[in-house]
Amino acid sequence: MEAPIRAREALGFILFSLLFSICRSSSLNHLLISNAERRIDLSSHIVKVYLTLKVENAGSTPTSEVFLSFPPTQVDHLATVEALVTKGKRKKTTLVRLDVKPTELPDAPNDAKYFAIYLENPLKSGESTTLEVLYLLTHSQEPFPAEIAQSESQLVYYRDSALILSPYHIKQQTTFIKTPSTKVESFTRVEPSNRAGTEIKYGPYEDHPPYSFSPILIHFENNSPFAVVEELVREVEISHWGNLQVTEQYTLVHAGARHKGVFSRVDFQSRPTLNGASSLRYLLARLPPRVHSVYYRDEIGNISSSHLRTDSRKSELEIEPRYPLFGGWKATFVIGYGLPLQDFLFETSDDRRYLNFTFGCPLLETVVDKLTIKVVLPEGSKDPSAVVPFPVEQHLETKYSYLDVVGRTVVVMEKKNLVPTHNSHFQVYYTFKPIFMLAEPLMLASAFFLFFVACVAYLHIDLSIRK
Amino acid sequence: MATMPASASDLLKSFKLKTKQQELLIRVSILCLVYILAFITRLFSVLRYESMIHEFDPYFNYRTTLYLTENGFYDFWNWFDYESWYPLGRIVGGTLYPGLMVTAVLIYRILRFLRFAVHIREVCVLTAPFFASNTTLVAYFFGKEIWDSGAGLVAAILIAVCPGYISRSVAGSYDNEGVAIFALLFTFYVFVKAVNTGSLAWSLASAFGYFYMVSAWGGYVFIINLIPLYVLVLLITGRYSMRLYVAYNCMYILGMLLAMQIRFVGFQHVQSGEHMAAMGVFFLMQVFYFLDWVKHMLSDTKLFQAFLRITVTSAVAVGGIALGLGMVSGYISPWTGRFYSLLDPTYAKDHIPIIASVSEHQPTAWSSFMFDFHILLFLFPAGLYFCFKRLSDATIFIVMYGLTSMYFAGVMVRLILVATPAVCLISAIAVSTTVKNLTVLLRSKNKVVQTGSTKGSGGSKSSSKALLDQSQPFQKNGAIALLFGAFYLLSRYATHCTWVTSEAYSSPSIVLAARGAHGNRVIFDDYREAYFWLRQNTPQDAKVMSWWDYGYQITAMGNRTVIVDNNTWNNTHIATVGRAMSSYEDEAIEIIRSLDVDYVLVVFGGVTGYSSDDINKFLWMVRIGGGVFPVIKEPDYLVNGEYRVDKGAAPKMLNCLMYKLCYYRFGEMMTEYGKPPGYDRARGVEIGNKDVKLEHLEEAFTTSNWIVRIYRVKPANNRWWLNRYKFG
């Protein structure tokens, strides 16, 4: 019932976009893509798409912008878009990262959204270049059936188009889709298309006009746990006495097919491969090296099931939630650790200090819906400013910790929809006079001094009324 | 240059302390050390496990403290808790002793004000050790008041590590007793001080101490009965004085008025039978005063005798009639069951199974006296002897406190706690006096005659004593031996206390630790696993039915509504749960549905060998259920008076809900190598019913070591849509 409607819709969409593209302004159509290859990796719940585009300038004027377009449903789930260009001839090739920014085009069909890739050198008429584009999609695999029992495996839908949605004419294109296992229930056929092992191939398709679209639906087994951190608050507290204290509060949820019916411990323990195949049993967090005093706890106390492995280059913390997470189950917990300050805090030439720390979530293969990073600067620091490689929301707060009088400045950064590729470094610059370090010890010392003076005074003064 | 050494030695001399100052310095430093010792010896559990709240009741206290910090005092006072005793609810503000929570929040606020960014949990965990430290100070002053400062110091040291007290005041044991023992001892100390001095200020202080005690613990009834008893004894022994009159009247009247401010206590001081002794003694005191005055006015003894007779008979008659009328009209409530069970240890067993079912309400075994008091048990009679030798108002008090509390300690295990301060004080008198006497003998050296004369109270006695001293040749060696013996005993006591604290009293009982096959420590964290699962993965308004032991923990850690909890105020409600657990499933489901229960939680130790699980508690459920609903009969669950779960068990036992929930699918489980599947390690038998089928309930969650099992109540067949609505 659903498929014919979809097909009709798609047909309508293609016709519509064809029509549209004919009467489009000529600002875009001087570029064309001579060859496009797309590889979609569905092996985890984060969809990774590698796009190789050979762009040719068929027009007369040089251009330095190449546009990518996405359907509006995909844009909401789009976590990151990166573009690279290969440089150099033959063996001596290097990859250069290009700027990618979301843009608006005045006459986008069906609310298509655009990203512009800015080339380093304008593409002259008749020239061509090869772009490597990587983008990640989150929450794009829909579990179907939406509820499964403990012994069933998790099946999901993935929706996309067999043809690459592009504002340019594509001469030749192929799409490869990699599924996590050979178990594929069904997939939409758009000839020529075939499946071999864990790979589904669509294409090659020749000569498709701009905005061609052909919806496909793949129904396949994906038993990787859908670990989604709904909210993560990371607090990084700088102490100039040599410690960097990190506290991370997680709200973790298994976003896969919801668990239905009984949870049987007997089955779960005795047949772990058949039962709860998609359940989330443990998580791996990659922490910086030289981490110390690691703790893992929640609102009601310490969670004893965690292991820390450290070597000189990295530390790995393996954590198990209190209970295995089935679809729809939640767990909240806190991870905290200390780090040596000299690894992360540096001084600039103009006597400012800056913290260089990783953005993003240290857990592997997880999606973070909302991340808040709070950098707590030491008391008395001034002029904070943050440098982050991607757009974030920022504001300042004040926090009171041990023996604080005026409070500490907190730089708060918020970002939505994060994937592990966001684990790049950010910097927070501030000025701080080392004399402020002595304020708290001096306060304590003077408090004790006053106390002893009071004791001495009390022992030497006779307060009685009668003599 | 030459003058320098001289000036330096002058300076040194000026720093040199006088003997009295030295003594003060030593005393203060010993007290400081004891203060610290009392605190750190209670931190075993924090070091072994973590900074967490222990056991059952402390979780309720913690939850209410959290509520108090978040919502303020007025909301706390008027708090109606929907999360417990569903569907009845509980008026929390009016049914608890708020002293503990208010104290913790006060400490928390002060620390916050001083910019110590502590969490309320840490404050709660450390409240009991902090108050234990304060108790040592009070013990010192108390000892000083009844004997001398030496006895005070010894008392402080003894009480700092006494296991009887540590059992209720380790870090994390956030319970009323933690602060109440401090309040109890403080009230007694200040009252004795007031009796000794006759000062209004001290009796006022004792009234406030009493108020704090009332706000903190139900054990205040002990104070309000012991003090009148003490006053009565003083009256009978002819020790009536103006000092006593001032101290008692001020303390009673003000203490009573202040105590009425606590909602849970209310007007009990004038309405309850347990408090009537204090009132009677109060009136008796007035009669005494009046008679004293009349005696002073009347010179004629014969006339006074006649007057005395008339007054006493009429006073007793009026008092008796008033009490009788009050009882009959119901204005004065009769004694409660708990009070009866104190006077008659067998009462609870016959009449109130819910009191008898609690392990800490059992009569005390000799071994636990030995365990909790160690050498104090032998020093106690010795101390009593010294007290009787030097009888005064203060020693009479401590003797009475010691004897009565010892009796109560024998009736109920948990009341060892109340006896501990008295035992420590009286033993301290024994230790201090003995050691003092021995050291005096040792220090006398050759000046035996002189020492004898200075020490002996009477001049005539001194010479004879000196002669006696000379007549014993090995006296000095004997004294040295005895002194060493005493120190050996005391050091054994310290070792024992530390061992007991570390081994027996520092387990949080939420987290269970065991030794693994390779000698490593294995942690069973199943309780928190289950509670946290409930908290995260069940609907917000889900109702959980379990035996009442786990009620407080489920509401505090699981944040879900429970049917019954540890505040066992409604026996019928508990009996209903007991009945559901001991019925067949299809009968039980009716009760479960009528209580609107969504989840049923049971605790099961068959996999791990954890013995305090629901199967072992089950007979109490049957008894309590049967006490209200006679359909439940205990013999149905027994075979020849024996409680078993294997093949020979009673058929009703093998098919009741509790059995089914505990052993559901346990028959497939291999627990121990070389044993058949379904081998119950807690009871050491193979279970009798391996084919357990559930019809109306389904397994929702079982923890990794099977200690907690949670079942979901399936909706009735014609209400399948409810399932969607609730869980979908």
Residues (pLDDT < 50) of chain A are 1-5, 7, 15, 18-26
Q: Are strands A141-143 and A283-287 parallel, antiparallel or unpaired?
A: unpaired
Q: Are A446 and A454 in contact (CB under 8 A)?
A: no
Q: Rounded distance, CA B20 to CA B23, Å?
A: 5
Between A179-183, B112-116, B350-354, B699-703, the lowest mean confidence (pLDDT) is in B350-354
Cross-chain residue pair B698–A262, CB shorter than 8 Å: yes
The residue type of B357 is: S
Arithmetic mean of pLDDT over chain B: 87
Closest chain A residue by Cα to residue B51: A301
User: What confidence score (pLDDT) does residue B668 get?
Assistant: 87
Rg (CA), chain A: 28
Distance, in angstroms, between B660 CA and closest chain A CA? 15
> Which residues, 6+ apart, have CB-to-CB distance to B10 below 8 Å?
none
Closest chain B residue by Cα to residue A146: B728
Distance, in angstroms, between A262 CA and closest chain B CA? 5
Mutate to test the interface with B, among A239, A254, A258, A266 (most CBs of B within 10 A): A266
Predicted confidence (pLDDT) per residue in B698-720, tens digit: 999 999 999 999 999 988 776 55
Q: What is the arithmetic mean of pLDDT over B274-279?
A: 89
Please state, as a whole number, how many other Cβ atoms lie within 10 Å of the Cβ of residue B290: 12
Q: Rounded distance, CA A251 to CA A232, Å?
A: 7
Across the interface, of A328, A330, A403, the residue whose CB is closest to B115 is A403
User: What confidence score (pLDDT) does residue A94 get?
Assistant: 80
Instruction: Provide the pLDDT confidence category of residue B327 given band limits of 50, 70 and 90.
Output: confident
Across the interface, of B116, B557, B700, the residue whose CB is closest to A263 is B700
Q: Rounded distance, CA B435 to CA B426, Å?
A: 14
Tell me what percent of chain B is helix, strand and coil, each rounded to the nearest 5: 65, 5, 25
Mutate to test the interface with A, among B110, B536, B670, B724 (most CBs of A within 10 A): B536
Cross-chain residue pair B115–A402, CB shorter than 8 Å: yes
User: What confidence score (pLDDT) does residue B462 get?
Assistant: 44
Cross-chain residue pair B532–A322, CB shorter than 8 Å: yes
Strand stretches in A288-324, DSSP E:
292-298, 301-302, 306-310, 315-319
Please state, as a whole number, how many other Cβ atoms lie within 10 Å of the Cβ of residue B291: 17
Distance, in angstroms, between B138 CA and closest chain A CA? 20
The residue type of B9 is: S
Give B115's contacts in chain A (Cβ within 8 Å).
400, 402-405
**Residue of B628, B670, B662 lying closest to B645 (CA atoms):** B662
Distance, in angstroms, between A445 CA and closest chain B CA? 14
Across the interface, of B52, B704, B706, the residue whose CB is closest to A301 is B52
Across the interface, of A261, A266, A305, the residue whose CB is closest to B669 is A266
Q: Rounded distance, CA B307 to CA B301, Å?
A: 10
Q: In what order do the strands lie in the sheet with A199-208?
A: A63-70, A113-123, A94-103, A78-87, A128-137, A47-57, A31-41, A169-178, A199-208, A193-196
Q: What is the CATH code of the structural domain delimited by B525-713?
A: 3.40.50.12610
Q: What is the arithmetic mean of pLDDT over B550-554?
A: 93
Give B49's contacts in chain A (Cβ within 8 Å).
302
Distance, in angstroms, between A151 CA and closest chain B CA? 14
Across the interface, of B117, B533, B702, the residue whose CB is closest to A400 is B117
Q: Rounded distance, CA A34 to CA A172, Å?
A: 6
Distance, in angstroms, between A253 CA and closest chain B CA? 10
Give A329's contacts in chain B (Cβ within 8 Å).
533, 536-537
pLDDT > 50? residue B464: no
DSSP assignment string, B457-483:
SSHHHHHHHHHHHHH-TTHHHHHHHHH
Q: What is the arithmetic mean of pLDDT over B168-193?
A: 94
Closest chain B residue by Cα to residue A406: B115
Residue ranges of domains in chain B? 525-713
Q: Print the SS3 string covering B153-213.
A: HHHHHHHHHCHHHHCCCCCCCCCHHHHHHHHHHHHHHHHHHHHHHCCHHHHHHHHHHHHHH
| H/E stretch holding A443 | helix A439-460
Between B143-152, B303-312, B697-706, the lowest mean confidence (pLDDT) is in B303-312
Closest chain B residue by Cα to residue A322: B529
Q: Are B251 and B210 in contact (CB under 8 A)?
A: yes
Cross-chain residue pair B702–A264, CB shorter than 8 Å: yes
**Residue of B228, B150, B165, B182 lying closest to B397 (CA atoms):** B228
Give A261's contacts in chain B (Cβ within 8 Å).
698
User: What confidence score (pLDDT) does residue B362 get?
Assistant: 83
Between A142-151, B14-23, B177-186, B318-327, the lowest mean confidence (pLDDT) is in B14-23
- Strand, coil or helix: A405: coil
DSSP assignment string, B250-318:
HHHHHHHHHHTTSTTTTTHHHHBGGGHHHHHHHHHHHHHHHHHHHHHH---HHHHHHHHHHHHHHHHHH
Closest chain B residue by Cα to residue A333: B532
Domains A26-221 and A227-441 share a fold: yes
**DSSP H helix total and E strand total for chain B:** 33, 11
Please state, as a whole number, how many other Cβ atoms lie within 10 Å of the Cβ of residue A453: 10
> How big is the A-B interface in CB pairs under 8 Å?
73
Give B555's contacts in chain A (Cβ within 8 Å).
none
- Strand, coil or helix: B587: helix
**DSSP H helix total and E strand total for chain A:** 4, 31
Cross-chain residue pair A304–B700, CB shorter than 8 Å: no
Q: Are A318 and A245 in contact (CB under 8 A)?
A: no
Across the interface, of B50, B115, B702, the residue whose CB is closest to A302 is B50
Q: What is the arithmetic mean of pLDDT over B623-638?
A: 90
Instruction: Provide the pLDDT confidence category of residue B448 given band limits of 50, 70 and 90.
Output: very low
Cross-chain residue pair A266–B52, CB shorter than 8 Å: no
Q: Rounded distance, CA B594 to CA B579, Å?
A: 13
User: What confidence score (pLDDT) does residue A9 get?
Assistant: 52
Q: Rounded distance, CA B105 to CA A143, Å?
A: 48
Instruction: Provide the pLDDT confidence category of residue B10 given band limits of 50, 70 and 90.
Output: low
Cross-chain residue pair A304–B698, CB shorter than 8 Å: no
Percentage of residues of chain B with pLDDT beyond 90: 56
Q: Print the SS3 string covering B99-143.
A: HHHHHHHHHHHHHHHCCCCCCHHHHHHHHHHHHHHHHHHHHHHHH
User: What confidence score (pLDDT) does residue A28 get?
Assistant: 64
Mutate to test the interface with A, among B704, B705, B723 (most CBs of A within 10 A): B704
Cross-chain residue pair B537–A329, CB shorter than 8 Å: yes
**Residue of B44, B52, B42 lying closest to B556 (CA atoms):** B52
The residue type of B661 is: L
Which structure tokens are listed for B339?
A: 């009070």
Give A270's contacts in chain B (Cβ within 8 Å).
668
Distance, in angstroms, between B173 CA and closest chain A CA? 15
Strand stretches in B576-665, DSSP E:
599-603
Cross-chain residue pair A332–B536, CB shorter than 8 Å: yes
Distance, in angstroms, between A329 CA and closest chain B CA? 6
Cross-chain residue pair B528–A300, CB shorter than 8 Å: yes
Q: Rounded distance, CA B121 to CA B172, Å?
A: 9
Distance, in angstroms, between A246 CA and closest chain B CA? 16
What are the residues facing A232 on neighbouring strands?
A250, A371
- Identify whether B228 is preceded by a cis peptide bond (ω within 30 of 0): no
Q: What is the arithmetic mean of pLDDT over B576-595?
A: 92
Which structure tokens are listed for A164?
A: 């690459």
Residue ranges of domains in chain A? 26-221, 227-441
Residues of A with CB under 8 A from a CB of B: 261-266, 270, 297-305, 322-323, 328-332, 400-405
- Identify whether B353 is preceded by a cis peptide bond (ω within 30 of 0): no
Q: What is the arithmetic mean of pLDDT over B78-101?
A: 90
User: What confidence score (pLDDT) does residue B11 get?
Assistant: 59
Angle at alpha carbon of residue A314, lines to A309 and A315, rounded to 5° = 30
Q: Rounded distance, CA B579 to CA B591, Å?
A: 8
Distance, in angstroms, between A403 CA and closest chain B CA? 5
Q: Which CATH number fits domain A26-221: 3.40.50.2300, 3.90.190.20, 2.60.40.1730, 3.40.50.620?
A: 2.60.40.1730
Exposure b/e, B370-391, CB count within 10 A at least 16 = b: ebbbbbbbebbebbbebbeeee
Q: Are A78 and A136 in contact (CB under 8 A)?
A: yes
Model pTM score: 0.89
Which structure tokens are listed for B600?
A: 């049923």
Please state, as a whole number, how many other Cβ atoms lie within 10 Å of the Cβ of residue B701: 24
pLDDT > 60? residue B458: no
| H/E stretch holding A245 | strand A243-254
Per CATH, the homologous superfamily of domain A227-441 is tricorn interacting facor f3 domain (2.60.40.1730)
Closest chain A residue by Cα to residue B724: A260
Q: In what order do the strands lie in the sheet with A306-310?
A: A283-287, A315-319, A306-310
Q: Rounded distance, CA B354 to CA B568, Å?
A: 8
Q: Are strands A227-239 and A367-376 parallel, antiparallel or unpaired?
A: parallel
Mutate to test the interface with B, among A262, A279, A404 (most CBs of B within 10 A): A262
User: What confidence score (pLDDT) does residue A23 get?
Assistant: 43
Q: Rounded distance, CA A180 to CA A178, Å?
A: 7
User: What confidence score (pLDDT) does residue B12 get?
Assistant: 60
Mutate to test the interface with B, among A323, A448, A452, A458 (most CBs of B within 10 A): A323
